[in-house]
Amino acid sequence: MLEVTDLAKTHPGGRPLFAGLSFSLRAGEYVAVMGESGVGKSTLLNLIAGLEAPDAGEIRVAGQCISGLADAAAARLRREKLGFVFQAFHVLPHLTLLQNVGVPLLLLGRDDPARAAAMLAAVGLGGRLRAYPRELSGGELQRVAIARALVHRPALLLADEPTGNLDPATAGEVLALLRDEIRANGAAAILVTHSAHAAASADRVLELTAAGLAPRRPAP
Ligand SMILES: Nc1ncnc2c1ncn2[C@@H]1O[C@H](COP(=O)(O)OP(=O)(O)OP(=O)(O)O)[C@@H](O)[C@H]1O
Ligand SMILES: [Mg+2]
């Protein structure tokens, strides 16, 4: 589902984040990625989504090399195959929650308000379909972003700290939903998190350091 080979990235004016980074994910595999703030976790997700270009290396999503695609083709691949929960939620302020969650389906020509409403209900916001983002708390917005990322049943879910604003009980529920959805769809997922508790919901836990991405060793 995802194959990353010899990836290298340095932001202009920054220090090298990674070089020679390789890993792969099979369909249905769910991994957590941990690592210190600033190590490059969000950058890695952006590279996988084709939102930033690597300096070197190759990223294949569902067999297609995303870094080699023209913008329009990369956008199509993203729309069809990827779900992305951004660290900053990126909900659209002038759309209701129902409309926000429906956007991925609309872009695919598969408008389905019932599915969007069901996803909002699944994250505990079934009573707020016609509310606007400004009326919501940070944790509620985070749940809207999760519903939107899953609504079109993506083959690969990229989630950047999706439970960072949630209380432990809600975080647990949202992670269970996330796992059930990706299991039901046979999708792969990468969960970036600072929470060992959230990471424990994944099949395996990797740690990103300047040396690369490696299985995380339990704290001594
Ligand atoms: N567009 C950019 N231009 C220049 N530098 C950037 C850019 N985006 C990120 N950086 C820098 O690259 C480094 C990695 O950033 P990134 O957001 O990937 O870290 P992170 O591991 O997600 O951290 P956090 O856990 O705090 O979210 C940081 O030092 C950041 O300041
Ligand atoms: Mg980040």
The pLDDT tens digits of the residues spanning 29-72 come to 999 999 999 999 999 999 999 999 999 999 999 889 987 788 89
pLDDT at 69: 85
pLDDT at 110: 97
Which tens digits make up the pLDDT trace of 141-162? 999 999 999 999 999 999 999 9
Mean pLDDT of 170-194: 91
User: Which protein residues touch ligand 1 with a CB less than 6 Å away?
Assistant: 11, 14, 17, 35, 37-43, 87
Mean pLDDT of the chain, nearest integer: 92
CA distance 142 to 126: 15
Mean pLDDT of 120-147: 94
**Whose CA is closest to 157, among 94, 78, 213, 98?**
78
Closest atom of ligand 1 relative to the 14 alpha carbon: 5
Closest atom of ligand 1 relative to the 13 alpha carbon: 4
Burial class (CB in 10 A: 0-12, 13-18, 19+), 144: buried
Joined tokens for residue 8: 């290298």
* CATH architecture of the domain covering 29-39+70-215: 3-Layer(aba) Sandwich (3.40)
pLDDT at 219: 64
pTM here is 0.93
Answer for the pair 150, 102: CB distance below 8 angstroms, yes or no. no
Mean pLDDT of 20-37: 94
CA 18 / ligand 1 centre spacing (Å): 12
Among 11, 33, 86, say which to mutate for ligand 1: greatest number of ligand atoms within 8 Å of CB.
11
More confident residue, 11 or 218: 11
CA 118 / ligand 1 centre spacing (Å): 34
Q: Strand order in 30-34's β-sheet?
A: 82-85, 156-160, 188-192, 30-34, 204-209, 212-215
